[in-house]
Amino acid sequence: TQVFDRPLSGRHLFEEVIRENLDLGRPSKVSLIFNRGINKRTPGTFQTRVITQGVIPSLHVSYKSSKIKQYFKEDHALRTETTINNTHDFGLGRSLKNLPELRAIGFAANCRLLEVETISQDCSLAEGVFEQVTRPQIIDGKRVSGLRFDDHRVIGLLQTLCGFLLLPNGFSNSSMREWMAQILGIPADQYSPGRMTYDLRRLRLHGLIERIPHTHRYQVTEMGTRIAFFFTKIHSRIFRPGLSQ
């Protein structure tokens, strides 16, 4: 439970959180929050429900028989609750000895949800960082092209990074290439591994991602998180609507 010293600001924050995270019920997001794999055979309905009772909104995210409920309690606190109705959803029996592990699972799910929401709300970027990322640079003796804000491919890369923020084991060339092809609207075979390697190199040299030691997988850095959200928000809210008018 997060208690606000200025309740009105807290209420406005939660309403903004709801607006920013209406896609939390997608299988990809649910799997990140609950740290469980989801495939076509996974039972249950994956959805985000926003319920307004009177004037108090609440956010619900479901996974199989379990769910997270988030609401603004008594106009002073943001309350996040995880309810596990079937322990077998997490590979555990119903014995009382499993209560500590179930509690840890629920607490971790709450923390992941709050982390997703925090990242989406705090993505301000210094002017110097913006210029550094968008212009060509010589980094560690290697020339790297800038991540131009008006480049559809760059925006696609950053949108993809937003989906990989909380993966505990990071992501690989192949997994990111699959998502990039979907975002660009092209067949996967038209976005070659070599092309993906070039883009990963750009992201790594600019400091947006880093290689996980002793693997061929990557994870998003703190700066990469901030840049990815900043670029995608500005592009979707200002740049794209402005061009469509």
Q: Using one digit for the tens of pLDDT, what is the confidence trace for 214-243?
A: 899 999 888 888 898 888 888 877 776 666
For residue 116, pLDDT beyond 90: no
pLDDT of residue 196: 94
Which residues span the domain enclosing 132? 127-244
- 109 lies in the same domain as 77: yes
- 115 lies in the same domain as 164: no
- 23 lies in the same domain as 107: yes
- 159 lies in the same domain as 205: yes
Instruction: Using the 3D structure, point to which of 69, 87, 121 is the last residue of a domain.
Output: 121
Average pLDDT over residues 59-79: 78
pTM: 0.62
Residue with tokens 């559809």: 152
Round to whole Å and give the CA distance between 43 and 36.
13
pLDDT of residue 32: 42
pLDDT of residue 222: 82
In contact, 109 and 90? CB cutoff 8 Å? no
**Cross-strand partners of 51:** 58
pLDDT band at 146 (very low <50, low <70, confident <90, very high): very high
- 153 lies in the same domain as 236: yes
For residue 28, pLDDT beyond 70: no
For residue 14, pLDDT beyond 80: no
Instruction: Using the 3D structure, point to which of 121, 147, 177 is the last residue of a domain.
Output: 121
pLDDT of residue 166: 60
- 49 lies in the same domain as 63: yes
Averaged pLDDT score across all residues of the chain: 78
pLDDT of residue 56: 64
Instruction: Using the 3D structure, point to which of 74, 92, 121 is the last residue of a domain.
Output: 121
Q: What is the dihedral of CA 71, 8, 121, 26, to 10 degrees?
A: 20
Q: What separation, in Å, do the N-terminal and C-terminal C-alpha atoms of the chain show?
A: 43
Question: Encoding tokens for residue 183?
Answer: 């975002």
pLDDT of residue 58: 75
Q: How does pLDDT run across 182-215, given as a tens digit for each residue? A: 888 888 888 999 999 999 999 999 999 999 898 9
pLDDT of residue 207: 93
**Cross-strand partners of 144:** 137
For residue 63, pLDDT beyond 80: no
Report how many domains make up the chain.
2
In contact, 69 and 109? CB cutoff 8 Å? no
Q: What's the CATH number where 152 sits? A: 1.10.10
- 67 lies in the same domain as 132: no
